[in-house]
Amino acid sequence: MLDLTTLEKVGNFPHLNDLVRVYNHKKGLHIVVMYLVIGNWRFPWSFRVYRGKGTASPSQLAQKLINNLPSILTQSFQIYI
């Protein structure tokens, strides 16, 4: 499962200046998270930070996450996109 999640940030975070953006009217850290779903369980597997306009889109980041899955997972389980 892939999800674009916003960790909303209000206030001043100087150490996150390069990562905090406004996207869909929400200010915060925007991450694309890949979860492995096994039965009723969801496990966070990997993530990428969306850095805003002029960088890889959330869809492109999701594709990178899928491409980086270990071959043991892609050979042993069905991957639905």
Distance, in Å, from the CA atom of 21 to the CA atom of 33, rounded to the nearest integer, reads 17
Digit-coded pLDDT (tens) for 9-63: 887 878 887 888 888 888 888 999 999 888 899 999 999 999 888 999 999 999 9
Residue with tokens 């389980």: 77
Cα-Cα end-to-end distance for the chain: 9
State the pLDDT at residue 7: 87
- Please tell me whether residue 42 adopts helix, strand or coil conformation: strand
CA nearest 45: which of 34, 55, 57, 54? 34
Residue 8: pLDDT band (50, 70, 90) is: confident
Using CA atoms, how far apart are residues 1 and 35, in angstroms rounded to an integer? 5
pTM recorded for the entire structure: 0.78
